[in-house]
Amino acid sequence: MQCSNCRSDTVAFAVPDDVSEFAPGNGSAAAICTSCLNVYAVESPDEDADLTAVSEAFDVDEEAAVEMALVVGLLSSLALNRSKIETLLEHVEDRGVDPMLVLEELEADTGLKPTVAIGRRRSQLEQLMG
């Protein structure tokens, strides 16, 4: 599947039931663009979904990687999605992963061209959650 925003490839991944309410369309699968990081609802995940194809920043616990991909999808509207983002970040931290470090690594990944200013959003999240 190609991204409707930038026409780059996407990675479609399964969304566990316990976080499906945070996925686009509250679905059991979503896709993330390998370039602009837009997150979309999809009907089904890729059989061999690997979020590290998007960025090495997702080279963490598999469930934490999915949760971080969902966070990235919610960053476009921090004000509207604040409670969802906070809940997902808590899930990620509970898995022993530093979500702010993942966002920092996404920001530093020169192969990405995110539509959202990841660094600015990370700073805003740190202020909100600090």
Distance of CA 41 to the CA centre of its chain: 13
pLDDT of residue 88: 98
Handedness of CA 99, 104, 110, 114 (dihedral sign): positive
Give the dihedral of Cα atoms 70, 3, 60, 126; nearest 10 deg. -50
pLDDT at residue 76, rounded to an integer: 94
Q: What's this model's pTM, rounded to 2 decimal places?
A: 0.96
Distance from first CA to last CA of the chain, Å, rounded? 38
Per-residue pLDDT of the chain (130 residues; tens, 9 = 90+): 899 999 999 999 999 999 999 999 999 999 999 999 999 999 999 999 999 999 999 999 999 999 999 999 999 999 999 999 999 999 999 999 999 999 999 999 999 999 999 999 999 999 888 7
Domain boundaries, the chain: 10-129
Q: Are 124 and 75 in contact (CB under 8 A)?
A: no
